[in-house]
Amino acid sequence: MDREFCDILAPGCVRHFLSILKTHYLQVLAMVELHVWGNDGEISVISPECIASAWLLSMKKLPDLVIVTSNNTNFSDIGQLPVLIDGEKKYNGYKQICRYIDNVAGNTGSQTDQLLDSSLISLLLEKFEVLNQYNLYVNSQNYEKFTRKLFQNYLPFPMMYNQPLKYYNYARDQVKLLGLGPSKTGFFSFSSNEPVAMTETLNDDIEDEENEQVALSGLHERQLLRKAKEKGVIQESKNSLRCLNLIHHYLEQILDIYKTNEPVKRTNHRVLLIAYMACFNYGKLPDGFIGRYLNEKYGDLVKELENEKQTLTYTTRPATSYESPSLINEVKYVAGLVKY
């Protein structure tokens, strides 16, 4: 009798289970996921794009939006966060996410505003992003005492060591395009028409010759090391001044556009500008030279953007075991056993 009862009940249980599974699967497909850098409910300062994307999507109040601090770049087609996933479609980076929002929520701005907005987004992603990389990775104090340590909160061993080094090397290459690298790369600043004084590269040949000296004794080696350290400090000071000069240059361009077209302030680039300014002015950075400059030179703008920032919010959830960039998941991903 018990066996007959189980035989009758079993098909119903299976159907019920499959019904629940189907419902859950459809709900997962219906969700729009934004994958970003961060932990403990906070999106990381290492990516203003992630912060701005979360603010912008939350502001549009998409009903099925889920923001995941997965720290897993494998979700992205280009290996970078943020990435927005809607079903089988992926939108990589802030610019593509803005296009997604315009398609879903509609863009009510004029054609002129849209063109200006697109240009300002490109300016921020191409110029401010490099300056942010300089501030976080190339500035020795900020990298050693702050940025490098952040990754232990985002990634497991040994990825917590590999990823910041990878970003550090990438940042060193990128900042050269704005004349912020070693002095011998001044050619890039000249060809890119950035505002860099010619006197800053006046003694490059002399410095290169001195750097080629070979230590003749232990004492001579210590003297050369001390001299190299002093030169490194001087070079970093020069780069910091160039960095502030560039920030001034680009902010003036943005403010000039605002003067002639006030409505453009209400377009998508504004959220990204707030994110970059918040990261430049981040209070936990050991060397807050950019923040001090912005508060002194552009105090009114900083306050204006800070007030707007107070109205922007987001809610995140941590990554599941499947979403997290664990060593096991990485091996499975490389082997083709896991697909994101």
Task: Check residues 277 and 198 and name the one with the higher pLDDT.
Answer: 277
Task: Check residues 5 and 267 and name the one with the higher pLDDT.
Answer: 267
Mean model confidence pLDDT for the chain: 82
- State residue 110's pLDDT score: 84
Contact 325, 71 (CB under 8 A): yes
Which range is most confident: 14-28, 193-207, 320-334? 320-334
Task: Check residues 170 and 21 and name the one with the higher pLDDT.
Answer: 170
Residues 267, 92, 274, CA angle at the centre, nearest 5°? 35
Which range is most confident: 8-12, 187-191, 217-221? 217-221
- CA 269 to each of CA 9, 96, 118, 301, 330: distance values in angstroms, whole numbers, following the listed order: 59, 12, 7, 15, 34
* Helical (H) or strand (E) element with 231: helix 218-260
Percent of the chain residues topping a pLDDT of 90: 62
301-321 pLDDT per residue, tens: 999 999 999 999 999 999 999
> Is residue 283's pLDDT more than 80?
yes
Contact 243, 131 (CB under 8 A): yes
119-152 pLDDT per residue, tens: 999 999 999 999 999 999 999 999 999 999 999 9
- State residue 221's pLDDT score: 55
| Cis status, amide bond into 82, omega within 30 of 0 | yes
Domains and CATH numbers, the chain: 31-106+312-340 (3.40.30.10), 110-309 (no CATH)
0.85 cut: is pTM over it? no
- State residue 219's pLDDT score: 59
- State residue 106's pLDDT score: 73
237-272 pLDDT per residue, tens: 788 899 999 999 999 999 999 999 999 999 999 999
Question: What does the DSSP 8-state code read for residue 322?
Answer: T
Question: Residue 290 — very low, low, confident or very high, per pLDDT cuts 50/70/90?
Answer: very high
Task: Check residues 15 and 102 and name the one with the higher pLDDT.
Answer: 102
- State residue 234's pLDDT score: 61
Class of residue 282 by CB neighbours under 10 A (exposed 0-12, middle 13-18, buried 19+): middle
Task: Check residues 334 and 297 and name the one with the higher pLDDT.
Answer: 297
- State residue 103's pLDDT score: 87
